[in-house]
Amino acid sequence: MKTRITDLLGCQYPVIQGGMAWVAEYHLAAAVSEAGGIGLIGAASAPPEVVREQIRKTKELTDKPFGVNVMLLNPNAPEVAKVVVEEGVKIVTTGAGNPGKFMEMWKQAGVTVIPVVASVAMAKMMERAGADAVVAEGMESGGHIGSQTTMTLVPQVADAVSVPVIAAGGIADGRGIAASFMLGAEGVQMGTRFVVAKESIVHENYKERIVKARDIDSEVTGMSTGHPIRVLRNAMSREYLKLEKEGAGFEELEQLTLGSLRKAVMDGDVVHGSLMAGQCAGLVKKEQTCQEMIEELMAQTAGLLGDGDFWEKKSVFLGRTSDKGE
């Protein structure tokens, strides 16, 4: 399947694995890239040398393109940004801030920069700053979320910018990918589905909670702090929401969640850990290899969109010249 995203990133399929903290490490990133998508290493708050090691280990497992997700609020972000260049990584996604101060350095090094955005205004700002594409992420996603849904955000961003748009938030199967393309996206970013990949280092307890999740099993914590996070319900999330309702301060709430994502991912603590997952968790039914996942996703998508003339029809509908492949 060829789109402007596959051309831009040099991959076979327009599927990007989300840069999830603690989850998106070299085993998973390499497996996704080997399967024809784009795997990402989630730098999160890791020290620069840890990120460097992750990059080198990924290169040992694949010669396909992969990227690094840089969380810009990380105090180590300037050093991580340099490591990306020093190690020859050619794809960067960014979150939690404006990557403007790193853009010149990355561009001079030939890095493709793809910020994650939650609004049209931010998408337009990133395009002006030199972004090569944007990820429009709706509030259906797991982890830190914005306020707009994928259904409403993606078409508005697609209408507002000329760079390719990647849809994210609530996408777990070919129906979600096909719908994203109908909304104007030319690629998708998926997180929750890849958490349960066989190559994922996530604890089996966490994976099992996702596979067994129902449609109503996620909830959003942190609304009172201005940093909402979507997780699967457990004792920790219930306690957090109780404290929020009682008017607890940021420090008390922060103390409750300190280290909770690591507890879930590494220790399998599904009671007191932070089980970040999107609303699409109810669509994830089994553990598969990344190869099996991506092949299944692409077969489902192709079955829905038909053979070859989708992009032509879409371009006519949008009043654009078709330049998005077949």
Give residue limits of the domains in the chain. 4-190+288-318, 204-282
Q: What pLDDT is attached to residue 320?
A: 56
Q: What's the pLDDT tens digit per position in 207-260?
A: 999 999 999 999 999 888 888 999 999 999 999 899 989 988 888 888 888 889
In angstroms, the CA 132 to CA 25 distance is 24
166 vs 186: CA distance, rounded Å: 6
Burial 136-148 (b: 16+ CB within 10 A, else e): bbbbbbbbbbbeb
Instruction: Give residue 44's pLDDT.
Output: 87
Query: In angstroms, rounded to a whole number, what is the distance separating the alpha carbons of residues 182 and 76?
Result: 38
Check pLDDT > 70 for residue 10.
yes
Closest alpha carbon to 84 in 249, 139, 73, 71 = 71
Residue 38 per-residue DSSP state:
B
Nearest in space to 284 (alpha carbons), one of 220, 217, 196, 204: 196
Angle formed by the axes of helices 290-305 and 174-182, to 10°? 50
What was the pLDDT predicted at 324?
42
pLDDT of residue 146: 87
pLDDT digits (tens, 9 = 90+) for 291-307: 999 999 999 999 999 86
Q: What is the average per-residue pLDDT within 39-54?
A: 93
322 pLDDT exceeds 70?
A: no
Query: Given this model, what pLDDT does residue 321 score?
Result: 45
Give me the percent of the chain exceeding a pLDDT of 90: 76
What's residue 29's pLDDT? 97
| pLDDT tens string 126-173 | 999 999 999 999 999 998 888 899 999 999 999 999 999 999 999 999
Q: Mind listing the pLDDT tens digit for each residue in 62-117? A: 999 999 999 988 888 999 999 999 999 999 999 888 888 999 999 999 999 999 99
Contact by Cβ (8 Å): 96, 117: no
| pLDDT reported for residue 284 | 96
Pairwise CA distance, residues 124 & 31, whole Å:
33
Backbone angles phi, psi at 239, to 5 degrees: -65, -40
Q: What is the largest CA-CA distance in the chain?
A: 56
pLDDT of residue 74: 84
CATH class, range 4-190+288-318: alpha beta
Q: Whose CA is closest to 296, among 287, 212, 77, 2?
A: 287
Length of the chain equals 326
CA distance linking residue 132 with residue 19, whole number of Å: 18
d(CA 161, CA 325): 19
314 pLDDT tier (thresholds 50, 70, 90): low
Q: What band does 325 get if pLDDT is binned at 50, 70 and 90?
A: very low
Mean pLDDT for the chain overall: 91
pLDDT of the residue at 7: 95
Check residue 323 and give its pLDDT.
47
Question: 133 near 115, Cβ under 8 Å?
Answer: no
**Whole-number Å distance between alpha carbons of 124 and 301:** 29
